Amino acid sequence: MRNYSPLKRPKPRRLTTLEIAEIEECWDLVSEAISEEIERQRLESRSIK
């Protein structure tokens, strides 16, 4: 991998529609898992008090 100066660096390619769909699907799973974890910790902290 060559080091490009900021001015000569090639432009990143655009994502395809399929790649965007896959990223959105993963993001949905991640955000769902985070929500479940937050809820689990909230219930856990309630039961400790």
Mean of pLDDT values over 3-7: 69
Mean per-residue pLDDT of the chain: 89
Q: What is the pLDDT of residue 29?
A: 97
The answer to whether 4 touches 10, Cβ cutoff 8 Å, is: yes
* Per-position b or e across 14-48, b if 16+ CB within 10 A of its CB: eeeeeeeeeeeeeeeeeeeeeeeeeeeeeeeeeee
Residues 6+ apart with CB under 8 A from 15: 23
The answer to whether 25 touches 19, Cβ cutoff 8 Å, is: no
pLDDT confidence bin for 15, thresholds 50/70/90: very high
CA distance 15 to 32: 24
Mean of pLDDT values over 12-24: 94
pTM above 0.85, yes or no: no
Task: For the chain, give every domain's residue range.
Answer: 15-49
